């Protein structure tokens, strides 16, 4: 038996433990709701955790398809990037897979002498962890961009009007970044 | 050294869960992105509010005035005597938990103190300790807590993480209005000079010039004139937009963002087109130049002060009745508080549509009609020439803004209008619309830059439902009828559901409205060109 076969056979158990580990990163009194409310619209965090851990694990065992892995990680991390987590706390749920696999499947790994494969699997988890870091950074960059866009939008028409006014008067300069850059 | 290095197994033996604590122990960390800046001293002074000072929530010392506990105790006592509802809300909750998982901030953060029941307990525990016999004798065992600086900081943190949207109240078997609990907690904090900048500044501006941004009358006129010019370019029709016209039949009041921010502005263009096309005898007011009332988020007194300008202007201009634009909490104030705050508006007439003869009996007390009621009535009586295919480039969904839907029951009128002016309308899932609508996550003064992460959490349930219709129906615009929504949903969707725009109901009306004397109108109100071979929008929509 290969480790891949072993992981496939135990998929439900491993993923369930993984989900529990992720939900446990939230305050205790809120965990029951996150775990038990099935409605995807009433409990988006729980839904994303449930769906995406399953998807991630499937790809992890099967082919590590980078696009699919990235997409699932992005959904999980997009949420965690705006919650009360340090950057390390937001992404380290990927690493949780290591002790879960090791503990849950310890006997079978030993019985089938799968330690070398386990090492390779853990390297793959490290790879996934790095992808998670990419996702987190992209989410935070996006937030910065959105804040800038938001500031522009909030006074969009005022600036436009001001520029129209300034354009009417001959000795004027508009409030335009490009123009300002040219002046320098 | 070498033996200090942990093995990989040891390194990952981390307890990722936050420490378990009793909710009774106040613990608040003011993390960046999850709180609002304190009210500015100058604005507090301008509004004659007590204890103006420079402070920030993240500082250890909030420079509380001497005897602040006594001030809050007296304020609490006064309000319990004045508002019977408050005493009932304090006493009646049986902690059944029906509201617990209904708050968007809890759903989006998992923080149990954002369960409405627990958030209210933050105040209720002090009530029990100070005002009930059991609490006075048994203290903590009867659920009582002494008001300490820690508790106060918790009040500030969590009562400014409530958008007063009242989704939780829909599920409360006792009908407890949780927003009013938040309002009372905020009032108590105001007594010792604790409020937030994004309430204090708009309120001070509003008090001075009539609108949140502090735009003066000439600036207001300039804005409206600019829109008239732009509308002429877009449609070929020069509309009239009278300001301060004495003796007009109707006063029109809209949120100020409609004339200075995007995408609100396109809704303003829609109003102007509509009023011109039907020949409405109306006027804008340069002082009632704001429908929004951030006083609601501050205190009953401030809400009253700001609401009064609308009725004072109606009186000064001698109008018969009022139409209100696509504003959110203005309607909570008008529909639920105005009559006892500044009423009766007996100098106005019961609104009757001059075009259809419809009597708006529901507005007998306030004399103020919501524009979607007015427009729905016009459409129902075939008073408008509409071409809904002019909105075919938009695949539309509709966000029920909290206050129009939950504070005044405006469910069908906006849908009727949208269905009359758009061909592609798709509802979001049932438990996310109508009475159960999810808040944008930024109302009640929380729509600030510094509170960004909290807003993204609070808006997750709404965005999640938008994502669903985006995925299943390729929806590309979310319509709404609230200026705060129009300001805060775009960044929310940029983060969670890129590719979905935000717009107003009357923007769609404006697009679809066929005007007498119009030119070809090759674009919609946003300037997006229609394709030559039909009404399909450009690819860059």
Residues of chain B in contact with residue A150, where contact means CB-CB under 8 angstroms, are 449, 490-491
Gap from A11 CA to chain B (nearest CA, Å): 21
pLDDT of residue A98: 96
CA–CA gap between residue B541 and residue B538 (Å, rounded): 6
With cut-offs at 50, 70 and 90, classify the pLDDT of residue A180: very low
In 3D space, the residue among A176, A156, A150, A166 whose CA is nearest the CA of residue B527 turns out to be A156
B266, B11 Cβ separation under 8 angstroms: no
Find all residues with CB under 8 Å of B233, minimum gap 6, and list them.
none
Residue keyed to tokens 């307890």: B15
SS3 (DSSP) at B500: coil
Chain A CB contacts of B16 under 8 Å are: 21, 24-25, 89, 92-93, 96
Per the CB < 8 A criterion, the answer to whether B252 and B323 are in contact is yes
- pLDDT tens-digit profile of A54-70? 999 999 999 889 999 99
> Cβ of B184: how many Cβ atoms within 10 Å?
24
* B424-446 pLDDT per residue, tens: 999 999 999 999 999 999 999 99
Give me the pLDDT at residue A159, please: 79
Q: Do A92 and B262 touch (CB under 8 A)?
A: no
Pairwise CA distance, residues B523 & B541, whole Å: 12
Least confident range from A34-48, A79-93, A153-167: namely A153-167
Instruction: Give the HSE-up count for residue A42: Cα atoms under 13 Å, Cβ half-sphere.
Output: 16
Cα→Cα distances B152→B49, B158, B376, Å:
19, 10, 47
**Pure H helices in B95-216:** 104-109, 116-131, 133-138, 149-159, 167-171, 178-190, 197-209
**What is the CATH class of B41-195?**
mainly alpha
* pLDDT at residue B9, rounded to an integer: 52
Q: Are A92 and B106 inside 8 Å of each other by CB?
A: no
pLDDT of residue A171: 58
Q: What is the predicted pLDDT for the residue at A178?
A: 43
Average pLDDT of B222-242? 96
The confidence score (pLDDT) of residue A163 equals 81
The pTM of the full predicted model, rounded to 2 decimals, is 0.92
Alpha-carbon dihedral B462, B466, B471, B472, rounded to 10 degrees: 110
Report the length, in residues, of chain B: 541
- Helix residue spans in chain A (DSSP H): 3-9, 11-23, 28-36, 44-62, 66-80, 87-91, 97-104, 106-111, 115-154, 156-168, 177-183
Residue of B nearest to A83 (CA): B109
Is residue B241 over pLDDT 60?
Answer: yes
Question: Residue B456, Cβ neighbours under 10 Å: how many?
Answer: 27
Q: What local confidence, expressed as pLDDT, does residue A135 receive?
A: 97
* pLDDT tens figures, A83-133: 999 999 999 999 999 999 999 999 999 999 999 999 999 999 999 999 999
- With 0-12 / 13-18 / 19 or more C-beta atoms within 10 angstroms meaning exposed / middle / buried, residue B518 is middle
* DSSP reduced 3-state for B111: coil
Of A21, A42, A153, the CB nearest to B101: A42
Q: Which of residues 299 through 338 in chain B touch A, CB cutoff 8 A?
A: none
What is the β-pairing status of strands B321-324 and B368-370? Answer: parallel
Query: CB–CB of A64/A98 below 8 Å?
Result: no
To test the contact with chain A by mutation, choose from B107, B436, B461 the residue with the greatest count of A C-beta atoms within 10 A, namely B107
Q: Which residues of B touch A142 (CB under 8 A)?
A: 494-495
Q: In chain B, which segments carry CATH 1.10.1060?
A: 41-195
């Amino acid at each position: 038996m290969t480790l891949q076969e072993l992981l496939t056979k135990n998929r439900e158990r491993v993923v369930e433990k993984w989900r529990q580990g992720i939900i446990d990163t939230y305050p205790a009194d809120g965990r029951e709701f996150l775990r038990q409310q099935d409605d995807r619209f009433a409990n988006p965090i729980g839904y994303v955790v449930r769906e995406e851990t399953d998807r991630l694990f499937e790809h992890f065992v099967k082919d590590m398809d980078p696009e699919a892995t990235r997409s699932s990680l992005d959904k999980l991390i997009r949420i965690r990037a705006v919650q009360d987590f340090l950057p390390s706390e937001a992404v380290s749920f990927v690493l949780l897979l290591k002790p879960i696999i090791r503990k849950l499947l310890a006997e079978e790994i030993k019985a089938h002498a799968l330690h070398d494969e386990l090492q390779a699997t853990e390297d793959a988890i490290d790879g996934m962890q790095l992808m998670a870091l990419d996702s987190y950074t992209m989410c935070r960059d996006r937030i910065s961009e959105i804040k800038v866009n938001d500031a522009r939008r909030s006074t969009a028409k005022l600036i436009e009007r001001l520029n129209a006014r300034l354009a009417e008067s001959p000795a004027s300069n508009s409030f335009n970044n490009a123009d300002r850059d040219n002046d320098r | 050294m070498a033996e200090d290095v942990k093995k990989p197994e040891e390194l990952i033996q981390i307890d990722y869960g936050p420490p378990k604590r009793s909710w009774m122990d106040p613990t608040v960390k003011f993390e960046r992105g999850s709180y609002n800046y304190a009210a500015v001293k100058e604005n507090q002074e301008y509004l004659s509010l007590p204890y103006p000072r420079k402070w920030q929530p993240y500082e250890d010392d909030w420079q509380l005035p001497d005897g602040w506990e006594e001030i809050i105790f007296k304020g609490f006592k006064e309000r319990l005597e004045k508002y019977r509802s408050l005493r009932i809300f304090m006493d009646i909750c049986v902690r059944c938990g029906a509201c617990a998982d209904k708050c968007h901030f809890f759903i989006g953060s998992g923080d149990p103190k954002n369960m409405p029941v627990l958030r209210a307990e933050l105040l209720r525990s002090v009530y029990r300790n100070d005002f009930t016999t059991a609490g006075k004798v048994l203290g903590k065992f009867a659920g009582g807590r002494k008001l300490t600086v820690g508790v106060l900081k918790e009040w500030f943190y969590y009562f400014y993480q409530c958008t007063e949207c009242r989704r939780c109240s829909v599920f409360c078997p006792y009908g407890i209005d949780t927003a009013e609990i938040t309002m009372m907690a905020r009032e108590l904090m105001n007594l010792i000079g604790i409020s937030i900048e994004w309430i204090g500044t708009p309120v001070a501006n509003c008090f001075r010039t009539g609108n949140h941004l502090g735009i003066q009358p000439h600036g207001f006129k300039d804005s409206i004139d600019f829109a008239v010019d732009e509308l002429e370019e877009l449609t070929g029709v020069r509309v009239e937009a009278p300001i301060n016209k004495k003796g007009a039949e109707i006063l029109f009041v809209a949120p100020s963002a409609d004339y200075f921010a995007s995408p609100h502005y396109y809704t303003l263009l829609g109003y102007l087109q509509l009023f011109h096309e039907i020949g409405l005898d109306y006027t804008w007011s340069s002082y009632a130049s704001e429908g929004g009332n951030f006083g609601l988020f501050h205190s009953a007194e401030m809400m009253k002060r700001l609401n009064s300008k609308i009725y004072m202007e109606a009186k000064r201009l001698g109008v018969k009745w009022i139409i209100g634009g696509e504003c959110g909490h203005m309607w909570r104030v008008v529909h639920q508080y105005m009559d006892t705050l500044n009423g009766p508006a007996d100098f106005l007439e019961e609104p009757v549509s001059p075009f259809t003869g419809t009597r708006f009996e529901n507005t007998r007390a306030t004399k103020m009609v919501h524009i979607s009621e007015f427009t729905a009535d016009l459409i129902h009586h075939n008073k408008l020439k509409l071409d809904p295919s002019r909105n075919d480039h938009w695949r539309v969904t509709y966000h029920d803004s909290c206050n129009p839907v939950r504070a005044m029951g405006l469910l069908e009128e906006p849908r009727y209008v949208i269905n009359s002016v758009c061909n592609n309308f798709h509802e979001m899932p049932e438990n996310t619309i109508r009475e159960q609508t999810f808040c944008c996550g930024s109302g009640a003064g929380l729509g600030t830059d510094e509170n960004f992460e909290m807003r993204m959490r609070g808006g997750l349930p709404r965005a999640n439902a938008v994502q669903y219709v985006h995925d299943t129906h390729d929806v590309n615009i979310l319509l709404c009828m609230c200026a705060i929504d129009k300001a805060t949903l775009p960044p929310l969707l940029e983060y969670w559901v890129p590719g979905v725009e935000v717009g107003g109901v009357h923007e769609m009306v404006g697009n679809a409205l066929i005007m007498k004397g119009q030119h070809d109108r090759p674009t919609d109100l946003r300037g997006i060109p229609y394709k030559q071979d039909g009404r399909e929008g450009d690819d860059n929509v």
